[in-house]
Copies of this chain bind each other. A is one copy, B any other.
């Protein structure tokens, strides 16, 4: 028996979690779909699928395609909309002892502000995640995610609209992620989620058609992990906001890679599709690692990766 009990709690700018393991937006529905495989009480947190003010139908099929160690998707923010989320989905999540991060997306600053206001009144919402990086709709926030000026305005407006912890989920499709992270910090964000999907495309050589209906889509899965790790590391070295790291996590070792790079918490995305209980396995795996190495708490190793030169 190991008497050593590490403190697994983490705090993303006020968004408190009992352990650093989350599930990523869009890869876990609204929680109930995984009920047979995951004990939500064991998860640090759940980021729900992006919510918009109105329900959205999403893009036509085909919406997904497989690539080497990755997948492309162009779901297009299909979701039930704010009202149905509040009345039909949130009550389910409230039953569990886990932190709920509501991911939201819109066309305009006003969309985001309204969502922030309405969600701040709702019981059982512990934090808000601004999706400024969805590549799959013509106006899915992606314009905010690549332009420092627009991003600053959006974050400032949302900051005024809520007292909930405000986390900005950045796009990796940028030249300089650090500048965008700094803008979030300066305009009052409490934390960052890194990374959303990379823009990609695949072609069916037989039919000579794009594999996705909209041509391009978002690349996720193990293939992108080295890019995500790099971005987390770059941002963690220069910006003081806590980071939720994600992109290709499939096991405990991958999760640790993100923590060492500078993430305070991590989120499992695509891997949920492959192994529905993977988030549970990572919760146990991290606990075992901290015990074995007698690490008292998560912050002791966040960002401690050594680089030679």
Q: Which residues of A approach B to under 8 Å, CB–CB?
A: 60, 67-70, 72, 146, 173-176, 198-203, 205, 207-210, 213-216, 219, 221-227, 229-230, 233, 248, 253, 256-257, 260-261, 301, 304-309
Contacts and interface: CB of A to CB of B under 8 A. Distances in A.
Nearest to A230: B201
Most chain B CB neighbours (cut-off 10 Å) among A207, A226, A256 = A226
B60 A203 contact: no
A67 to B, nearest CB: 5
Given A205-B257, A257-B202, A260-B205, A226 B72 contact: yes
Nearest to A171: B175
Interface centre among A72, A198, A216, A305 (most CB of B within 10 A): A305
A27 to B, nearest CB: 17
A67 B250 CA distance: 13
Number of this chain's copies in the complex: 2
Contact of A69 (B72, B223, B308): B223
A293 to B, nearest CB: 10
A201 B261 contact: yes
A202 B67 CA distance: 20
A210 B308 contact: yes
A198 B200 CA distance: 13
A306 to B, nearest CB: 5
Given A213-B308, A305-B210, A306-B210, A230 B199 contact: yes
B203 A175 contact: no
A207 B227 CA distance: 20
A260 B201 contact: no
Interface centre among A175, A199, A207, A301 (most CB of B within 10 A): A175
B248 A203 contact: no
Given A174-B174, A198-B227, A216-B230, 20 more contacts: A60-B309, A67-B225, A68-B221, A68-B225, A146-B175, A146-B176, A199-B227, A200-B226, A200-B229, A201-B261, A202-B257, A205-B257, A207-B306, A209-B306, A209-B308, A210-B305, A210-B308, A214-B307, A214-B308, A215-B233
